[in-house]
Chain A
Amino acid sequence: MDKGQFFREVLNENQKRIYRICCCYFNDEAERKDAYQESLVRIWENIHLFRGQSKASTWVYRVVVNTCLSGLRSDKRRKKLIDGGKGVDNINLPDISSDDTDQVAEEKLVFFHRFLQNLNHVDRTLVSLYLEELSTKEMAEITGVSEANVRVKIFRIKEQIKKQWEEHRNGIG
């Protein structure tokens, strides 16, 4: 398959998920956009390394996770090369804002983002993938952590968020 065609298909199928995963790593809107653009560039640059041994989506998430983990150490100069630095304006950024105006829902969201930022990188990675409804097997394939370990970590995170939310609601946290 042509590189451009493969990229287009990958983008059409995973664009929103890519952006949502980036959102789990960065608080700042500009950083999220940078991470999103950087992920797309990395996908493009690594297409020739995709051997089809895993699902294309699993491979894409690996690239996105690794890009976010590497903390955007990319060469600014290269970024400028892409569309004279306006690369991100040239692609559609998915809108992940919610229509939910309910106050509690909003409070939950703020709490959740704060909770996420306090997690270590592996837990944050697992949460970002869990929210995309990926299976434990896929999460293990993406992170390199064993399936059993993924299950344990997700269980702990679930317990942690529940406990912290209760503390927050009771005014302890």
Chain B
Amino acid sequence: MELDDFKKRAQGAGPVSAGSENTNTDIKTDAFIENLKATDLKERKKVFLLILFFGMFVVIYAGSFISKQGTGKEGYSILILGFCLAMGYLFYGLLKYKKVDYGEPAVGFLKHALARYRFISPVDLIITTPMLLLFITGGYLIVQSSFLKYMENTRIPVAIYLVIMLAAVAIGYWASYKNWKRHKKPLQEEIMKRLKEFEGQG
């Protein structure tokens, strides 16, 4: 038996849209395209709603920044900056998966997939580190100014706030690692295995 025997078998099947079935096929293809277009529209609406949602957040924070008098003002301005960065990060995340080019040669596609499924990429670190610092600093300034109204020494509430924030960051990191290990790591390993096969090491 030769591998080429199966070429004939594969080629044996006639064209899909032939003869009297032609119109039917066109109708079905048209319906499928319409569904795809409808899905595109839904996706665009989702992105628009997301922009609106974060826009509202920024407006609310900006509003309270303007109306706020005295010491907590800096804290709010830093928080707004943090939210803007978070918004950018969210869009980057969306685009990262939207921009996956399936038309690449398989080896390149697998290499890019491997990079996408890393736990924390350098870009993630570059964006999230200042973002977290902005949130913590902004919150710190707000907490400090709020407690200054009631007590002279704000060390204890500020220390409690910092401990809570650092714990939240640590828990967030741990939870995302667990989530990545459960859902993404097996995929990453599978991709690695396939890539090795393509590169002749598997």
Q: Using CB atoms and an 8 Å cutoff, list the residues of chain A in contact with chain B.
A: 4, 7-8, 11-12, 15-16, 20, 40-46, 49-50, 59, 62-63, 65-67, 69-71, 73, 78, 81-83, 87, 90-92, 94-100, 108-109, 111-112, 120-123, 125, 127, 130-133, 141-145, 149, 154, 157-158, 161-162, 165
CB atoms of B17 and A49 under 8 A apart: no
- Give the tally of cross-chain contacts (CB within 8 A): 150
CB atoms of B102 and A8 under 8 A apart: no
Q: Please give me the residue from chain A that is nearest to B1 by CB atom.
A: A165
CB atoms of B102 and A46 under 8 A apart: yes
CB atoms of B200 and A62 under 8 A apart: no
State which of B30-38, B51-59, B127-135 sits at the interface with chain A: B30-38
Asked if B194 CB lies within 8 Å of chain A CBs, one says yes
Asked if B170 CB lies within 8 Å of chain A CBs, one says no
Interface size on B, residues (CB 8 A): 48
Q: Which of B1-58 contact A (CB under 8 A)?
A: 1-3, 5-7, 9-13, 15-17, 21, 24-26, 28-33, 35-39, 42
Chain B residues lying within 8 Å of A96, measured Cβ to Cβ, are: 10, 13
Chain B residues lying within 8 Å of A162, measured Cβ to Cβ, are: 1-2
CB atoms of A16 and B16 under 8 A apart: yes
Q: Please give me the residue from chain A that is nearest to B36 by CB atom.
A: A44
The CA-CA distance from A109 to B12 in the complex, in Å, is 14
CB atoms of A94 and B103 under 8 A apart: no
